[in-house]
Amino acid sequence: MWGAPPRVRGADRVRVPVTAVDAPQRLRALITTPLEAELVEGLRQRHRAVDFILPESLLAPARFPAHHPFATVADHPEREREWNALLDTADILVDFGPVELQSRLRARPRLRWIQTTSSGVGELVQRVGLADSDLPVITTASGVHAGPLAEFALLGMLWCAKRVSHLLDQQRAHRWERSATTELAGRVVVVVGMGRVGTAVAGACAALGMRVVGCTRRPRAGAGSPAEPIVPVEELDAWLPRADFLVISCPLTAATHHLIDAARLARLPQGAVLINVGRGPCVVESALIASLRDGHLGGAVLDVVEHEPLAPDSPLWDLPQVLLSPHSASTVASENSRIVAIFDDNLGRFQRGEPLRNRLDKHAGY
């Protein structure tokens, strides 16, 4: 299912193979992405039985806090040899390593586990040939980005309800004209995808007095959910005509690809706002643009688009009722410490042969 990941909150039910733990050599954890030195040193202090390798000279430089670019070995044979030597002796990876070598991860002799810095890695795992193998186990950063993405969704709702674009136009024109706006309390929000991000969005909206309807592939009964009701995806069409805001927070799978098409956009009421903090291809972008241009949709708030980066000639850049974020709404300065906290906990579990948190279901893709 794509609405609620198939895992227990604390740990996955499936135990990780412990071949690496049983081997006589020390565990080697290769960090293939930029991390602050103090975070790595903290790991070394807490896990003295593990050798942590941080090849800083081989990493792609971070351009901003919590930036996790993949390294490259294109046209650098010596760098490729160095990476291959490191990858061949690693039991554990933090992220997937250089782009050109990711398709060879399955063949690495010692590799048992990859801790990622992202939540939505199902497409990448499929693309590099790791989806149909038990090893390496993949664990994600699920939960790290829920709060920031919920805040961005709220920002978008307030931006539309309070007519921020209009206010800025008035301010630039030095024009003082009173007008009315709307409030969020009492508005209906339909959240598609009730994983950690969707649940965080629902909680933030409910706190402001909004009515939240959750939509997921397999609704689960549970007291205390901020969404009421939580309905199956088969009932989405029935709820769309009541949605003031439609929030997309589901992962990209075969079932969610182009889930929101022209027909579903047309079912939204006049003036509704679409917010996408999930994956761009969940929405048919041409249909979204058409609905914005003809005035049916009142706005779109997009952290993701169908093809990234957004083409310079895309109409989305210039439509006045569109707020764009370059797939950065989830990135905050504290992100690395939260990712390392998950890795830290999982590393202890791995050494003890216990179930790992946030284990990717390779077949489901999330």
Domains present along the chain, CATH in parentheses:
19-143+333-352 (3.40.50.720), 146-324 (3.40.50.720)
Beta carbons within 8 Å of 313's beta carbon, 6+ residues apart? none
On the 0-12 / 13-18 / 19+ scale of CB atoms within 10 A, 38 is exposed
Res 119: pLDDT: 94
**Residues 298-328 pLDDT 10s:** 999 999 999 999 999 999 999 999 999 999 9
Take residue 307 and report the two structure tokens written for it: 């093809």
Q: Give CA–CA dist 209/36, Å, rounded.
A: 40
Res 225: pLDDT: 87
Low-confidence ranges of the chain (pLDDT < 50): 1-23
Which residues are identified as catalytic? Answer: 279, 308, 327
Res 7: pLDDT: 38
Beta carbons within 8 Å of 111's beta carbon, 6+ residues apart? 87, 90, 91, 92, 93, 105, 135, 136
Please report where in the chains the tokens 């149909």 appear, as a residue. 132
Q: 292 in helix, strand or coil?
A: helix
What number of residues does the chain have? Answer: 366
Res 54: pLDDT: 98
| DSSP-H helix ranges across 93-163 | 122-127, 146-161
Res 223: pLDDT: 61
pTM: 0.91
In 75-229, which ranges are E strands? 92-94, 113-115, 137-139, 188-192, 211-216
